[in-house]
Structure 1
Amino acid sequence: MDNEPEALLAARLIERAAGAPGGVIHLARSPSRAARLAEAARALGEGVEVIHLPAWDCLPYDRVSPSAAVMGERMAALHRMATAPGQRLLVTSVEAAGQRLPEPARAAPLVLRRGETLDAEGMADALRRLGYGSDDDLVDSPGEFGPRGEVLDVFPAREEAAPYRLEVQDGRIAAIRRYDPVTQRSEAESEEVVLPPASEVVALAGEDLPERIPGLEHALAALTPRLVSVFDLWPETEIVAEPEFEEARDRRAAEVADAFRLRIAVGAEEGAPEIVEPARLTLDAAAWKAALKGRRLIHAEAPEEVERPAFLEEDEPEEAFLDLVEQRSAAGCRVALAGAGVRANTLFRLMRRRRGQAPVEVPGWLAFRALPPGIVAWLRAPLTEGFGTEGTVVVAAAEVLPARAPGRERLQRAAFGEATLRPGDAVVHIEHGLASLRGIEAVEAPPRRTAPRFPPPNTCGWSSRTARPASSPPRKSTGSGATARRRKPLPSTPRMAIPGPSAGRRSARRSRRPRARWPRRRRHAMRARRPS
């Protein structure tokens, strides 16, 4: 199932969730796959509430806590699971579904609106109870806040969130502005800001505020009166599990058991949180059996996809796409262009020009499926890949007109190539060991000419301002001996600056030697000696 179209599976899940009264829970084989499926389902699922529950981005019984962004996403998903009505779909992984959660009452977010009263001390206490940490310096990471007189900076604990700056005047919130965490400059105003809990250890009003120490969340069962699972929150839902579900569940149980034994063998350090048994924090075999008992368990098979041409391999991808639209629509298939932005608008105009009429615009997958056969539509869903089935063809705009990647994606490609690394993945740092990838930021590097690189001494035995080895034919001498002195081998350790990787693009351009700056008196004297 490695090469199966995930967008097609997401469309099938949307169809099933639309017809299930209690909703659908999909158990993916890995956390990264669950994130991709949830993203595709959100793009296709107009009218269906799509919820993604991520897994912790740390090892079981680790000495560090999960990141505030991941715990904020989990608590936000918990709140939506308890409050979302109607058609709903939960996309999660075996690791995330097997991790117990606090009660939904502890997942309520804190909403701040412009014009409301704000008490500085009370707000700081409320944020600390939600797991936010105060920073006296810059607030540039999720789960931080910093009061500075009449200004309060706060960074919501979410993956793709931006920090906000609240200006307080006369005890009321006068303005809420989003700002750049790198430059600290305000960008846009907002009417409200939603702050989900930054930790799964939340202290309600009247409860003692725990000390925020590293690894505190691993003792969640000892610090929270009652824990629940996703199956307790949605007791009447269908469960769609991928074929690797049982294998992933057994592997996760073995990892948790090994980590618990190792943690017991090492022992708890002074001031460390309590070490709780695995069954109190995660679902064991008996808990999984009880959770699945009496439910409809559906094993998701790989959808059968109709082969589609690789447009980018064609000489004219746009023409190949338009030919496919005409052929499939004439055969009675529903054909949809999926995408939004410049590329989708360009293909939309080409389709309208070729067919003489504009495609039908639809908001989501369910509306597209309701169209009669032979209809050509524009599905405003930001998909990165399309799919094809019997009677339906969906082509993503990125498959026909690849555009320049946005800033963050371009940085990731520059650093990792085509590797599928995402923020939150486990990586090995060259100095700090096992870590979690938080993201990539652009930094200003010095120009190549001001940052030369030097080869080892044993790789060069000469140095010359004219870049000519001593064995090359001599130039015409002027009698001053300067050329010979410049080409004389150096007795000490030689150094020769070599260009950086980007110098290949400048190889055709000849470097210019700076003009000599003669003293003012000498220039005047030379001008005076010139014959008239």
Structure 2
Amino acid sequence: MSLDFLLRTPEFGALSRAVASSERPLLVRGVVEPAKAYLLACLAGTAGRPIVLIRPESAPLAQAERDCRFYLDRLAPHAGLAALPPLADDPYFEVPPALDAVSSRMRLFHRLLNAPPALIVTSLGGLLKPVPAQADMAGLFLSLETGGEADHDALLETLGRYGYAREDLIASPGEFAWRGGIVDVFSPWEANPFRIEFDGSRVASLREFDISNQRSVRRIDRLTVPSLREFPATPEFLDVWKAAARGRGKGARRDLEAKIAAVDRGEFGPSFAALALLAEGRFVPVTDYLREPVFVVEDPEAVDGEWDERLKELHGQFDDLRAGRAFACEPDAVFPPSLLRRVRAEAVRLEGLGAPAREKAFAFGFQPVPRFDNRIPFFLQYLKKLRSESDLCSIYVLNAGTRRRLAALLRESDIPALETDSPFAIAPRGEIALLIGALPGGFSYPREKLHVFS
């Protein structure tokens, strides 16, 4: 079974043409859970426009990202995929955002400045928050080259402005240290920290090192360090922000001036990521970086219901803060409703098997496959049944050793097997294709007499 079989089906062709047109909204049904990532990868590899998958707030993005990456790496390895998680669960709580979320968002922002990915996995909380406009976005990344010109003191100032914590010895991502002409920095993008050695105003060397013994792991030619903040903490930006904030500070003047004094001391609490959005003209919807994005909403009823409930809670929190004369940013400034209206008007709605047929609905024939859970006799009997019906079967296993053992088991049971590394290999009718890979989950497509197992 070739992994790209769906691209040749009439139903996928019809969906592709509709996605390329201005027809909206569209409904897609008949896609079981394990096949959703496969369908999205097929769309991302062929649409020629970025696909933005929007999941419910309660659905984990990391799992969807891994599942989509499995298929996209095989179907369109150069297309690219990124996650855009929410920066924080609550913009009003003084709780630092998870470094993983900061890292993922900054990695996407860096790609947006260069080559946007073909598929973005997000939620409304991640998508709706405005991002820095291009002029400011570029300043959130520091690039260094071995042999290149760089100012030691300016580097230290930039790392502090980016939100890295200064330590005597670094131990965790998000920290930096310096002594003499050596600066150590631990980017959340990297598994190990890097040591930057200066020779006057020149970068003499860039080395990755092991924090447990301080020994070099390897030398590199280039290093990009992302900011940990989604705003430029420059004096110019902060002056713009202060003017905008004071224009909205009626009724909360004392708290606002306390916040401004903290900012002047270089103290940015977690809630400043939301307050920074008051600087007019400095932030834009993330869609400004995407050419004609295609929004795909998974389980639209859950997405809309959870978001409406969250907005209700945020408005309640904001009202409580204002009643206590605290200065805060309105929920509609943190999550502008204009982009939400666009998503709801333009979305391709990805619904389950039980979704009713509607106008402009595209029906697929994905079905679940049984889970065998080490029930070997049942597994072998099921495969023999599929062979007798001339169905095509592929089985993904985790490593070569498991594949060899499975191939031997099948042959002992008179089931021929083809061991292949190509997801596009088509085994002769009656042979079971055995491949290596962490398939997210199995599915079948009875119309094409195809079955995929993990």
TM-score strictly above 0.5: yes
- Count of aligned residue pairs for this structure pair: 369
Query: Does 1:345 find its partner at 2:377?
Result: no
Does the CA-based 8 Å contact 1:16-1:24 persist in structure 2? yes
Shift of 1:106: 3.5
> Residues 162 and 179 of structure 1 are in contact (CA less than 8 Å); yes or no, is this contact kept in structure 2?
no
What does residue 21 of structure 2 align with? none
Q: Distance in 1 between matches of 2:379 and 2:406?
A: 9
| AA at the equivalent of 2:108 | A
Q: 2-side partners of 1:376 and 1:81: how far apart? A: 42
Q: Deviations over 1:471-500 (max 9, x none)?
A: xxxxxxxxxxxxxxxxxxxxxxxxxxxxxx
**What SS does the aligned partner of 2:318 have?**
helix
The answer to whether structure 1 residue 189 and structure 2 residue 251 are counterparts is no
The one of 157, 160, 167 aligned to 1:125? 157
> 1:236 aligned to 2:292?
yes
Gapped runs of 5+ residues in structure 1?
269-273, 397-532
Q: Deviations over 1:382-413 (max 9, x none)?
A: 345444443333333xxxxxxxxxxxxxxxxx
Alignment partners' CA distance in 2, 1:259 and 1:190: 50
Question: 1:103: Cα distance to partner?
Answer: 1.9
Q: 1:20 aligns with which of 47, 50, 70?
A: 47
- The amino acid across from 1:77 in the alignment is L
Q: 1:92 aligns with which of 94, 111, 122?
A: 122
Structure 2, unaligned runs of 5 or more = 1-30, 240-262, 354-364
Aligned-residue RMSD, C-alpha: 3.3
Give the 5 Å matches for 1:267-282: 267-268=325-326, 275-282=328-335
Q: Whole-Å Cα distance in 1 between the matches of residues 103 and 134 of structure 2?
A: 13
Task: Kindly provide the amino acid, as one letter, of the partner of residue 125 in structure 1.
Answer: E
Pick closer, same or farther for the CA change 1:375–1:169 going to 2, 3 Å.
Answer: farther
Partner of 2:419: 359
State the secondary structure of the residue aligned to 2:47.
Answer: coil
Measured after TM superposition, the shift of residue 179 of structure 1 is: 2.3
Q: Tell whether the 8 Å contact from 2:163 to 2:227 is kept in structure 1 after alignment.
A: yes
Residues 273-352 of structure 1: pairs in structure 2 closer than 5 A = 275-284=328-337, 287-293=339-345, 295-302=346-353, 304-312=366-374, 314=375, 317=376, 328=386, 331-340=389-398, 344-352=399-407
Counterparts of 1:138-287 in structure 2, within 5 Å, are: 138-158=169-189, 161-168=190-197, 170=199, 171-180=202-211, 183=212, 185-186=214-215, 188-191=217-220, 192-203=222-233, 207=237, 211-215=266-270, 216-223=272-279, 225-234=281-290, 236-243=292-299, 244-268=302-326, 275-284=328-337, 287=339
Write out per-residue CA displacement over residues 362-394 of structure 1, whole angstroms, 9 at most, x where no aligned residue.
36xxx47x8887664455433454444433333
2:102 paired residue among 71, 81, 89: 71
Q: CA deviation at 1:258?
A: 1.7
Could you tell me how far apart the structure 1 residues matched to 2:42 and 2:208 are?
39
Task: Among all aligned residue pairs of Structure 1 and Structure 2, give the percentage whose two residues are the same amino acid.
Answer: 21
Kept in 2, the 8 Å contact 1:360–1:376? The answer is no
CA offsets 1:261-285 (integer angstroms, 9 cap, x no match): 22223333xxxxx52222222133x
The aligned residue for residue 244 of structure 2 is: none
Deviations 1:18-46 (A, max 9, x none): 23221211110126422211111112212
Q: Write the distance in 2 (CA, Å) between the matches of 1:58 and 1:281.
A: 12
Question: Per the alignment, do residues 378 and 356 of structure 1 end up closer, same or farther by CA in structure 2, a change over 3 Å counting?
Answer: closer
TM-fit CA distance, 1:116: 3.6
Greater helix fraction, Structure 1 or Structure 2? 2
Rg larger in structure: 1
Q: Distance in 1 between matches of 2:296 and 2:128?
A: 15
Letter of the 2:371 partner, please give it. Answer: P
Per-residue Cα deviation, 1:311-334 (whole angstroms, up to 9, x for no partner): 33x2xx5x7666655654564444
The 3-state SS of whatever aligns with 2:208 is strand
Match of 1:527 in 2: none
